[in-house]
Amino acid sequence: MTPAAVIFDLDGVLIDSEPLWNAAREALVRESGGHWRDDAPRAMMGMSSLEWSAYLRDELGVPMDTDAISRDVVRRMEEAYRDGLPLLPGASEAVRALATRWPLGLASSANREVIDLVLEVADFGDAFGVAVSSEEVPRGKPAPDVYLETARRLGVDPTRCAAIEDSSNGLRAAAAAEMAVIAVPNPHYPPEPDALALAAATVNVVGEVTPDLVDHLAG
């Protein structure tokens, strides 16, 4: 069956952002007198902004409300991205190539402001017809909500979408939405074996995701 759309994750797939997110959150925790934990980055992967802000407050002891936490971290991320967007190898090429064949969506755990900034700064921003943040749906990844909402806004059946993901929670979310999943394992936080097993194909970098590969999955 021919795919109807391709949906990308953002962090760890198109941009090498996980170290920046973790640095921004850790800085806030330490500066505010909280207690950073080594397992915090993996625990927060896939969480929506509402979820990780609550995690910083409740689990790591940041003495601020969740809105203030989110705003502070977003400010740090925006400063980092305006200094230089850390695109991953082949990201622009993959987006442009796939956009010639299919409608593209973006299903990200990042805050809406961060997504919009990336699409403003990156040279592929206009290739995406739809971009959805996990903060706009009831549950973050590994729940399928953000993928289902992206497919809904694209006007396509989720079972006819290919999804490109890097993390355990992202792979689980796309698979739960019954999409054909292509894994681009995150080198900083490799996905768990059971999550990686949900992928129909695995590549080393997003630049290896070609129209031929997507067609092959559909076949």
Number of structural domains in the chain:
2
Domain boundary among 67, 83, 99: 83
Answer yes or no: do 91 and 75 share one domain: no
Answer yes or no: do 106 and 61 share one domain: no
Answer yes or no: do 141 and 65 share one domain: no
pLDDT digits (tens, 9 = 90+) for 127-163: 999 999 999 999 999 999 999 999 999 999 999 999 9
Q: Which residue of the set 11, 16, 72, 166 is catalytic?
A: 11
Domain boundary among 83, 101, 118: 83
Which pLDDT value is given to residue 47? 87
- Tell me the average pLDDT across 91-105: 97
Answer yes or no: do 92 and 57 share one domain: no
| Residue 9 annotated among the catalytic residues of the structure | yes
pLDDT-wise least confident of 24-33, 45-54, 93-102, 177-186: 45-54
Per-residue HEC secondary structure of the chain comes to CCCCEEEECCECCCECCHHHHHHHHHHHHHHCCCCCCCCHHHHHCCCCHHHHHHHHHHCCCCCCCHHHHHHHHHHHHHHHHHHCCCECCCHHHHHHHHHCCCCEEEEECCCHHHHHHHHHHCCCHHHEEEEEEHHHCCCCCCCCHHHHHHHHHHCCCHHHEEEEECCHHHHHHHHHCCCEEEECCCCCCCCCHHHHCCCCEECCCHHHCCHHHHHHHHC
Q: What is the CATH number of the domain that holds 31?
A: 1.10.150.240
Q: What is the CATH number of the domain that holds 197?
A: 3.40.50.1000
| Domain that residue 208 falls in | 5-16+87-218
For the chain, the average pLDDT equals 94
Answer yes or no: do 73 and 171 share one domain: no
Which pLDDT value is given to residue 46? 80
Answer yes or no: do 44 and 77 share one domain: yes
Which pLDDT value is given to residue 1? 65
Which pLDDT value is given to residue 154? 98
| Residue 16 annotated among the catalytic residues of the structure | no
